[in-house]
Structure formats: C-alpha cells, structure tokens
Amino acid sequence: MNTQIRHIVQNMPKAELHIHIEGSLEPELIFALAQRNGVQLAYPSVEALRAAYAFKDLQSFLDIYYAGASVLLKEQDFYDMTAAYLARAKADHVRHAEIFFDPQTHTSRGVPMGDVINGIHRACADSDVSATLILCFLRHLSEDDALATLEAALPYRDKFIGVGLDSSEVGHPPEKFTRVFARARELGLHLVAHAGEEGPPAYIWSALDVLHVERIDHGVRCLEDAELTRRLAAEKMALTVCPLSNIKLRVFDDMGQHNLLSLLDAGIVVTINSDDPAYFGGYLNENYLATFDSLPLGLQHAHELAKNSFAASFLPAEQKQKFLDEVDAYFSAFDVV
C-alpha cells in the first residue's frame, strides 16, 4: 500500500460497529485490576498472559477472554476499561462507536447489573467520541438466562440501544433465542447477531428471518450461499467484518485469503471493525491497514468503507448525515467520488 493511501485510511473519519468492550482489556489493565481487586490470575506476568494469545478457533479464544474479564468487579473497573478503549479509538479517528458488552459474564460472578451498565455508560458520556451500547446475550447459555438478563437490564433501558448475540456459535443457532429477541423488539431495541463467523449460512438466514436482525456481525460465510449473498446486497444488510479477528481465529488462513473484497464486489454493505482488539493484535486502524496491505483495495474502497461504517450505524438520521457529509468532505480533497 502506498503511503498516501495509508495516511488517508488512518486519518479518515470512521465508525466502529463491532467491538466487545471486554475484548479491549489489555493485559496491563488486566494485571492492574487483578491487583486492585485481589483477584488471582492463572498467569504470572503480562508477558505470560500475552504469550497465551495463540488461538486455534473461536472457543480457544473465548476461554481466555472470559478468564481476562474475571478481574472486572467494580463500577470503576468498567469505567476504566471503556475510557481506555474510547481514548484509543479517538486516536484512530473513530467518531462513533456502538459497543457490545456481555453482562452475563459479570452478573454470573455476582457483579450487579447496574455496576456493569453504569460504569460503561459513564465512560461513554465522558468521552468526546459518540458512543452507544449494545447488550449481548451469551449463546452458550440458555434462552431463559438471556430473558432474565434482559429483564434485569430494564431499569437501565435508557443506557443501551440494542441487543446482540455472541459467544460460541456452532451448536447455538439464532433460533434458540427467538423469544428474547421478540421481547427486545417489542421494547424498541435494535437487533444484531453474530452469524456466519464459524457457523453456516443457515445461521445468517435464521438471524434475518427468525430474529429480524438489522445487521449481521461477521457474516463472512454468506458467500457460500449465492441466494443469501444476493439477498444481503439487495436489502443493504450490513456485515460488521473483523479482519484481524478472522485471521487470529483461523476463519481464513491469512489476510490475502480474506473475502472482504469479494463481499464488496458482491454489492454487500461491508464495514471493518476490531472485534476484540486487545486479543487480536490491533485496534480499528490496524484492521484497516492490514486489510489494505493484503488486498487490492484503493481510495474508492476507503471512501466506501468509511461511508458504510456510518450508514450501517444506528445513529439518528440527522447525526448519521452529518458524519456522512464529514466523510465526503474529507475525501473531496483526494479526487474521489
């Protein structure tokens, strides 16, 4: 990639739509919080913990990710984690972030729901990056657990804008969560779900037709199904693609094999995101740069990806348009339409 494109991609205004806040917990902060809270970790040092970040699939990552999250106990811990992410995102010219959080990971350890949501939300309110929250259900747990979690979060309904579905995908299809997504829909919440990361295209179909989601998280396996691919493009159903995550979790062998350009060529609204940046080797700009380094992407693609990131957001129309105009103004200096 030439240095001009590199500079343009780094500095362009962008949104991040797929970031698990617990996946932004850096080893240094994990150790600091462990010490502050008197939590014993299974690793003797930051280096030993980081050395364990060699994953063979989604589950091998999730095991370490949940262990890392065990140091989060107090409202201030959630604040500190979120503030650190937003400061890092700002450096990557992120203007807006829609942040996932996994309350069941914390409430199951006895952390009050209010401490989780208030801590994360207070950091968002204090940041000059626009940020909203999406509550994710852990799909390896039961639907009843998800329903109870949603009810427990209702006193804080004004502090999150949607619900999502994450954790171990294969064996836990979207339709397992039909009732809880119907309830969230009644409550006027936005709906998203991880589908087609490790799971088959059938999971993307059921996320659309049974859960009625408005975006698909990952979704990269859609290309195995031509009818599904055409549908996603026709409906402008955005995919929140996470390139470095896909390489670290071996969804693709290397970045040169990633299907992101094929997805764009198929007319799909693709966005680039970091997923779990502390675990996968890079925040948002590193995801863009790794992708642009390995695939034949140019300025037009950079412009399209920046626009997609805001277009696919759940921002109110006026705010969305303001950011889209900012993207166009930025690119107008480079002769790209």
Q: Which stretch binds Zn ion (CB under 5 A): 45-53, 80-88, 146-154, 275-283?
A: 275-283
Exactly one of 16, 75, 92, 275 binds ligand HPA (CB under 6 A); which one?
A: 275
User: Rounded CA gap, 304 and 269, in Å?
Assistant: 9
Q: Assess whether 75 carries a catalytic annotation.
A: no
User: What are the residues whose beta carbons fall under 8 Å from the beta carbon of 329, sequence distance 6 or more?
Assistant: none
User: What are the residues whose beta carbons fall under 8 Å from the beta carbon of 128, sequence distance 6 or more?
Assistant: 90
272's tokens: 């680039």
Exactly one of 75, 92, 115, 276 binds ligand HPA (CB under 6 A); which one?
A: 276
| Binding partner of residue 258 among Zn ion, ligand HPA, none, CB cut-off 5 to 8 Å per kind | none
Does residue number 23 form part of the binding site for ligand HPA (CB under 6 A)?
Answer: yes
Near ligand HPA in 34-73, by CB under 6 A:
58, 65
Q: Which stretch binds Zn ion (CB under 5 A): 9-17, 49-57, 273-281, 318-326?
A: 273-281
Site string for ligand HPA, 162-201 (x = CB under 6 A): ----xx--------------------------x--x----
Q: Nearest 5°: phi and psi at 104?
A: -65, -30
CA 59 to chain CA centroid, Å, is: 17
| 275 annotated as a binding-site residue | yes
Query: With respect to ligand HPA, which residue has the nearer C-beta, 30 or 302?
Result: 30
Q: How far is the CB of 139 from ligand HPA (least distance, A)?
A: 8
Exactly one of 9, 19, 20, 269 binds ligand HPA (CB under 6 A); which one?
A: 20
Spatial CA neighbour of 100 closest among 276, 269, 244: 276
| 194 annotated as a binding-site residue | yes
User: Rounded CA gap, 198 and 180, in Å?
Assistant: 23
User: Rounded CA gap, 337 and 332, in Å?
Assistant: 7
Secondary structure of residue 307 in the 3-state scheme: helix
Query: With respect to ligand HPA, which residue has the nearer C-beta, 77 or 166?
Result: 166
Q: Nearest 5°: phi and psi at 274?
A: -105, -15
The end-to-end CA distance of the chain, in Å, is 20
Radius of gyration of the chain (CA): 19
Site string for ligand HPA, 236-265 (x = CB under 6 A): ---------x--------------------
| 18 annotated as a binding-site residue | yes
Exactly one of 75, 77, 275, 304 binds Zn ion (CB under 5 A); which one?
A: 275
User: Rounded CA gap, 135 and 157, in Å?
Assistant: 10
Look at the chain and count its residues.
337
Query: With respect to ligand HPA, which residue has the nearer C-beta, 139 or 190?
Result: 139
Spatial CA neighbour of 116 closest among 126, 128, 103: 103
| 63 annotated as a binding-site residue | no
136, 163 contact by CB (below 8 A): yes
Q: With CB under 6 A as the rule, give the number of residues binding ligand HPA.
A: 11
The H-or-E segment that residue 76 falls in is: helix 75-91
Query: With respect to ligand HPA, which residue has the nearer C-beta, 66 or 299?
Result: 66
Label the pairing between strands 162-166 and 130-138.
Answer: parallel
Choice among 16, 22, 98, 197 that is catalytic: 197
Residues designated catalytic: 197
Q: Which residues form the interface with ligand HPA (CB under 6 A)? A: 20, 23, 58, 65, 166-167, 194, 197, 245, 275-276
From the annotation, which residues make up the binding site for substrate? Answer: 276
From the annotation, which residues make up the binding site? Answer: 18, 20, 194, 275-276
From the annotation, which residues make up the binding site for Zn(2+)? Answer: 18, 20, 194, 275
Q: Which residues form the interface with Zn ion (CB under 5 A)? A: 275
